[in-house]
Amino acid sequence: MSSKRKITVAYGDGIGPEIMEATLRILDAAGAQIEPEVIEIGEQVYLKGISSGMDASAFESLRETKVFLKAPITTPQGGGFKSLNVTTRTSFGLFANVRPCKAYSPFIKTNYPKTDLVIIRENEEDLYSGIEHRQTQEVVQSLKLISKPGSEKIIRYAFEYAKKYGRKKVTCMTKDNIMKLADGLFHKTFDEIAKEYPEIETDHKIIDIGSALIAERPEIFDVIVTLNLYGDIISDIAAQVTGSVGLGGSANVGEEVAMFEAIHGSAPDIAGMDIANPSGLLNGAIMMLVHIGQPEVAEKIANAWMKTLEDGYHTGDIYQEGLSKERVGTQAFADAIIERLGQGPANMEPIAFGKEATEPMNIKLKPAVKQAKELIGVDVFLEWDEEGRDPNVLGEKLRQLDADGLQLQLITNRGVKVFPGGMKETFCTDHWRCRFQNAGQSAVTHAQILDLLKQVEALGCDFIKTENLYTFDGQRAYSLSQGE
Ligand code: NAD
């Protein structure tokens, strides 16, 4: 039996085949113990009518090899095509998106030569669940779902990653000054897990100032862990800051399966011309080699690649007059790397993966502790567009309702309290949140809520949704309104 590690490989579209060929040639010359199993994905598969761009045999291959080296693909224009990346991510539970962003100055132009950070982005939750509803004439809703296990998994991954790659600091980024429950859960989980890694320095930054600092002082960051949407945005900021958007690789990692790729697309404008830079895919492949336990091969390739950059053999996209020695094509660039296998950079810091790089990551979740949950009220959301949208009129109407003690406490519009005692200047849409509780916030029953909704209907009001108000172990588990 072969001792080589089977991996699934897709040559993709556009420049995909040429950069994959260059990458695999380098891996082979460096002695990577891999056995590629080639699958077809992308444009041709989409055009056969398979909406995910990947057929059943491709899924089967991934299920078996659990490692996917993927060249970029072209998503055909027009509707009905699902993102192949999203399909792979969700089907195989690839919960972590890992994107190292490093400057290679002066060989790649950047104003921030000391940048060397890694963004670890949660990949499965947040606003990307895509649960959206139009609720009224004027208002739509996009649900942001954050779970404790989802947060714990990605945060543990970030700390284990830091340990594995000898990184010193993990920074968490959230907006928990505003989203106290959702982002607050992520931040709180970060603080809890940080205690298990006393050797790693930790920090938290509010995402807005955090993003600004990535753009202004990226060298202060090491590993950054964050929620899906923020991660999406700061990954691009950080890649741009390093000046090496075209050189970046990324990994999507799950408990079983992992996918490695370049961050750029299929560049159809230069396809088949042998001028594409294969570095992005190569950097993805370097991450893959560490992942499959071949860090010494990964190190050899990374150092030869940096030496090639230093020696001035550059593809057109990174060619700089006066600094570059020769403008080379895709395959000649690969040859230059192959010639330098065993050598390392003289000006840039050589890559050295420590022995930790081969150790398995411990991302086991702590057993959940169930908390006592009590229902203490309900928010009934209404569409209401009468009487000049005067909150006092709606308030007085709803004040008549009484479902065995369940009575109106307040009304908000877009989160701002408008009744009782609202300000007449507050702009109101047709979307109203009406909070009902028992006197003294005593426990509420489902029967009371059902009765209340019947009364709301009888009043001629259109209720569009309800949200229950709970406490967990006596702690309020819903937000107060602005002005409450
Ligand atoms: P792109 O990244 O393919 O190209 C943007 C620009 O960068 C182009 O001018 C291109 O020539 C250049 N470029 C990209 N990679 C390069 C490389 N390795 N060497 C030299 N120059 C390079 O982005 P796009 O044009 O917006 O998208 C093209 C196609 O790629 C679309 O169909 C898009 O859906 C797809 N795409 C796929 C992935 C993926 O498979 N992960 C990611 C992004 C875009």
Q: Which pLDDT tens digit goes with each residue over 132-162?
A: 999 999 999 999 999 999 999 999 999 999 9
Position 468 pLDDT exceeds 60:
yes
Packing angle, helices 148-164 and 182-194, rounded to 10: 40
Q: In Å, what is the CA distance from 285 to each residue of 297, 346, 454? A: 11, 23, 60
Residues 178-186, mean pLDDT to the nearest whole number? 97
Cβ(261)–Cβ(71) below 8 Å: yes
Separation CA 356–CA 362 (nearest Å): 12
Average pLDDT over residues 435-461: 96
Residue 219 Cα distances to 141, 159, 406, angstroms: 38, 19, 55
Kindly report which listed range (28-37, 358-367, 379-388) carries the lowest average pLDDT score.
358-367
Q: Going by CA atoms, what residue is nearest to atom 41 of ligand 1?
A: 72
Residues 315 and 394 placed together within one structural domain of the fold: no
Of 166, 159, 163, 173, which is closest to residue 209 (Cα–Cα)?
173
Would you say residue 201 lies in a domain? yes
Sequence-ordered list of residues with C-beta below 8 angstroms from that of 302, at least 6 positions apart, any chain: 283, 286, 351
Point out the ligand 1 atom lying closest to the alpha carbon of residue 84: 40
| CA–CA distances in Å: residue 216 to residues 101, 110, 167, 172, 244 | 14, 12, 21, 18, 16
Q: How confident is the model at residue 244 (pLDDT cuts 50, 70, 90)?
A: confident
Does some domain include residue 149?
A: yes
**The two structure tokens encoding residue 446:** 């489902």
Count of beta carbons in the 10 Å neighbourhood of residue 112: 19
Determine which helix (DSSP H) or strand (DSSP E) holds 252, and give its type and residue range: strand 249-253
Q: Is the pLDDT of residue 284 over 80?
A: yes
pLDDT at 449: 98
Query: Tell me, what's the pLDDT at 375?
Result: 98
Q: Is residue 366 part of a domain?
A: no
Atom index in ligand 1 nearest the CA of residue 19 equals 18
Going from the Cα of 173 to the center of ligand 1, the distance in angstroms, rounded, reads: 28
Would you list the DSSP string of 434-464?
A: EEEE-GGG----HHHHHHHHHHHHHTT-EEE
Mean pLDDT of the chain: 94
Decide: 71 in ligand 1 pocket, CB within 6 A. no
Closest alpha carbon to 100 in 287, 253, 297: 287
268 and 148 within one domain: no
Q: Flag whether 172 is in a domain.
A: yes
CA of 70 to the centre of ligand 1 (A): 14
CA dist 318 and 174 (Å) reads 34
Which range among 72-81, 186-195, 318-327 shows the weakest confidence by mean pLDDT?
A: 72-81
Average confidence (pLDDT) over 205-220: 97
Residue 146: phi and psi, rounded to 5, are: -125, 125
Residue 484 lies in a domain: no
Whose C-alpha lies nearest to ligand 1, atom 4?
267
Q: Strand 431-437 to strand 373-383: parallel, antiparallel, or no bridges (unpaired)?
A: antiparallel
Of all protein residues, the one whose alpha carbon is nearest to atom 1 of ligand 1 is 265
User: Smallest Cα–Cα separation from 257: which of 98, 64, 4?
Assistant: 64
468 shares a domain with 436: yes
Provide the pLDDT confidence category of residue 51 given band limits of 50, 70 and 90.
confident
- Asked whether 319 and 327 are in contact (CB, 8 A), the reply is yes
Please provide residue 190's backbone torsions phi and psi, each rounded to the nearest 5 degrees: -60, -50
State residue 246's pLDDT score: 80
Among residues 97, 215, 204, 219, which one has the least CA distance to residue 158?
Answer: 97
Tell me the best of 264, 270, 282 to mutate to test the pocket of ligand 1, counting ligand atoms within 8 Å of each CB and taking the most: 264
Q: What pLDDT, on a 0 to 100 scale, did the predictor assign at position 76?
A: 84
**Per-residue model confidence as pLDDT tens digits over 380-422:** 999 999 999 999 999 999 999 999 999 999 999 999 999 999 9
- Model confidence band, residue 81 (pLDDT cutoffs 50, 70, 90): confident
449: domain CATH number? Answer: 3.30.70.1570
Q: How many domains does the chain have?
A: 3
325-339: burial string, b at 16+ Cβ within 10 Å, e else: eebbbbeebbbbbbe
Q: Which of 301, 326, 357 is the last residue of a domain?
A: 357
Tokens 């993966």 correspond to what residue? 353
Query: How confident is the model at residue 258, as a pLDDT?
Result: 96
Q: Is the pLDDT of residue 292 over 70?
A: yes
The DSSP-derived string for 161-204 is HHHHTT--EEEEEE-TTT-TTHHHHHHHHHHHHHTT-TTSEEEE
DSSP state of 42: S
| Residue (of 229, 149, 230, 161) closest to 192 by Cα position | 149
Output the residue whose Cα is nearest ligand 1's atom 42: 265
> Taking 60 as the threshold, does the pLDDT of residue 459 lie above it?
yes
Q: Are residues 246 and 236 in the same domain?
A: no
Output the residue whose Cα is nearest ligand 1's atom 37: 265
Give the separation between CA 406 and CA 16, rounded to whole angstroms: 62
Is there a single domain that holds both residue 126 and residue 71? Answer: no
Q: Do 248 and 236 share a structural domain?
A: no
Helix, strand, coil in percent for the chain, rounding step 5:
35, 25, 40
Could you tell me if 24 and 67 lie in one domain? yes
Across the range 52-80, mean pLDDT stands at 91
Number of Cα atoms under 13 Å in the Cβ half of residue 74: 16
Residue 74 or 359, more confident: 74
Residue 481 included in any domain: no
Atom 32 of ligand 1, residue of closest alpha carbon: 74
Length of the chain: 484
Q: Assign residue 212 the CATH number of its domain.
A: 3.40.718.10
3-class DSSP state for residue 377? strand
Residue 425 alpha carbon to ligand 1 centre in Å: 49
**309 closest CA partner among 287, 329, 333:** 333
The Cβ of residue 216 has, within 10 Å, a number of other Cβ atoms equal to: 12
pLDDT band at 2; cut points 50, 70, 90: low
Domain boundaries, position 128: 111-240
Question: Do 44 and 164 share a structural domain?
Answer: no
| Rounded Cα gap, residues 104 and 305, in angstroms | 11
Q: What is the mean pLDDT of residues 240-254?
A: 89
Q: Which of 97, 240, 263, 266 to mutate to test the pocket of ligand 1 (most atoms within 8 A of CB)?
A: 266
Which amino acid makes up residue 146?
I
Decide: 265 in ligand 1 pocket, CB within 6 A. yes
Domain boundary among 240, 258, 280: 240
What was the pLDDT predicted at 75? 84
Domain assignment of residue 104, yes or no: no
Rounded to an integer, what distance in angstroms lies between the CA atom of residue 77 and that of residue 46?
11
| 98 within domain boundaries | no
Q: Which amino acid appears at position 357 of this protein?
A: A
Same domain as 129, residue 225: yes
- Rounded distance between C-alpha atoms, residue 236 and residue 437, angstroms: 45
Whether 221 and 260 share a structural domain: no
Please tell me if the CB atom of residue 16 comes closer than 6 angstroms to any atom of ligand 1.
no
Same domain (yes/no): 433, 457: yes
Residue at which a domain ends, from 357, 390, 422: 357
Same domain? 73 vs 146: no
